[in-house]
Amino acid sequence: MRQNSGMRDMTAGSPAGHILYFALPLLAGSLLQQLYNMVDSWVVGRYVGDGALAAVGVGFPVLTMFSSLFIGLSSGGTVVIAQFFGAGKLDRVRDAVDTIYSAFLVSILPLTALALLAVGPILRLLQVEESAYGEAYLYLMVVCAGLIGSIGYNLNSGILGGLGNSRSTLLFLAVASVMNIILDLVLVLAFGLGVLGVALGTIIAQAFSWLFGVVYINRHYPEISLRLLPRKFDRALFGQIMGIGLPAGVQMSLVALGAMVVMGKINSYGKEFTAGYNVGFRLDQLAFLPIQSLSSAVISFVGQNIGAKKLDRARQGIRVTVALSAVWALLMTALLLPLSEPLVAFFSSTPAVIHAGAVYLWCIMPFYVLFAVMFCLNNAMRGAGDSVFPMVDVILSLILVRVPAVYWLADRFGPDYMYLGCAVGWAVGLALSLGWYFSGRWKRHGSLADEGGEPAGPEL
C-alpha cells in the first residue's frame, strides 16, 4: 500500500515541500467548495431576496453543530491513520478504516433524525426574523435530511489525508462543485424553486461526492476497501480515534453553538444586517481557506513524523506552517479591507446589506493573523495526539471570551462594533496556544503506533 502513487510518505524530504504539496490540492478543493457556497448566496441574494440570503446564512452554524461529531471522528482518524502509516503498520491502517466506517454507518440515521427534530427549536432560539423563518426552516430541513453525504465525504477525506493523499479529495470536490452550481442555476432560475432548489442542489451534490469517493477508494485502495458491512470494529482502536477526535468534535459543536448565540444577536438587528453578515462571512471563509488547508496538511505531516519518531522534523513542519499562514493572513487583510464594499455589493445591491457586510470585514480582518497562528498551532498539536488542549483553548477563547465580548460591545457601542469581540477572543486563544506549545506538554503522547503507548524519541 505504501507504493501507491496517491499516498505520500512525509517522513523524508523537504518539510515545506510536503506541506505545500499536500495543502495545494486541499486549497483548490476548498476554493471549489466555497465557490458553490458563494453561488448559493449569489443566486438567492440576486434572484430570491434578502430573506432567503439570511436563511442560507443561518444554516451554516446549525449544520456544523450537527455534523461536528463525525468531523471529529474524521480528524481523529486522520491522526491515527497517519501515525500508523508513518510507523509502517499498514494492517492497523485497515483496522482504523473499518472502525471509522462501522461507527458512521451505525449512527448516521439517529443523528439525522435528531437534527430534523431540532431544526424548529434551534431557529426559535436564534430569534430568526419572521420574514426569514419559513425559508430558513425549509432550507435546514432539506439539508439536514441529506447530512449523510456531507459527513461521508469528510470521512473519506480524513482517511485519505492520513495516507498523505489530498489530490483525490480535490477530484471529489470538483465533481460536487460543478454539479451543485448547475443544479442551483437549473432549480432556482429555470424551475423557480427558490431556497428549496438551493438546498436540493447542495444535498444531491454532496451525496454524489461521497459515493464517488467510496467507489474511488475501493478501486484504487483495495486493501482498505469501504463496505456496507465493514470487516472489523476494534473497540480499543475506536477509543484511540475518539480520544483525539471527540475533543475536536466537541470543540466544533460548542463553537457552532457559540456562533448560533452570536447569530441570535445579529438576527435581532433585522434581515438586512443578517444578510450582510452572511456575505461578509462568506468572504472571510474564502480568505481563510489557505490557512485551513495548511493546517490540515500539518496534522498529517506531524502525525506521520510522530509515528516515525522524527520529532525534530515534526517541529520544523510546524514552524513552516505557522509562517506561511501568518503571511497569508496579512496579505488578505491588505486586499479585503479596501475592497470590502464592492465585494459585498456583488451579492446584494441593498445599501444596508452592503454596509453590514463591510463592517464585519473591517472589524475582523486587521486581527486575522492572530487567529491564523492560533489555528495552525492547535492543529499541529492535534496531529501529535494532543486534542484536549486545543479543545480547551477554543472553548475558552471563542466561546467564554468572544461571545460575551460581542454582546457587550453591541450593547455598549452598537452593532457596527460588535465583531471586535472576535479579536478579543483570538488574542486570548493565541496567548494560550503559544504558552502550551512552548511548554512542550503537547509532545507527551508519543506515537500511538507504539504497542506500549510510551512516548518515544528525543524531546523537541
**What is the per-residue pLDDT across 374-426, written as a single tens digit (0 to 9) for each?**
999 998 998 888 888 998 998 899 889 999 999 999 999 988 999 999 999 99
DSSP tag of 182: H
Number of H helices, E strands in the chain: 16, 0
What pLDDT does residue 54 have? 66
What pLDDT does residue 12 have? 81
Angle among Cα 165, 167, 171 to the nearest 5 degrees reads 130
**Tens-digit pLDDT profile for residues 234-280:** 888 888 888 888 887 777 777 777 777 888 888 888 878 888 888 88
What pLDDT does residue 455 have? 36
The separation between the first and the last C-alpha atoms of the chain, rounded to the nearest angstrom, is 30
Distance CA 429, CA 293 (A): 20
User: How many residues does the structure list for the chain?
Assistant: 460
Q: What are the start-end ranges of the H helices in 268-309? A: 271-307
Distance of CA 153 to the CA centre of its chain: 12
What pLDDT does residue 1 have? 44
Radius of gyration of the chain (CA): 21
Residues in the chain with pLDDT values less than 70: 1-7, 36-38, 40-41, 45, 47, 49-61, 126, 228, 230-231, 445-460
Distance CA 16, CA 129 (A): 48
Give, for 334, the enclosing helix (H) or strand (E): helix 311-336
* In contact, 297 and 166? CB cutoff 8 Å: yes
**Which residue type does 440 have?**
G
Angle among Cα 434, 439, 441 to the nearest 5 degrees reads 110
**Which residue type does 316 have?**
Q
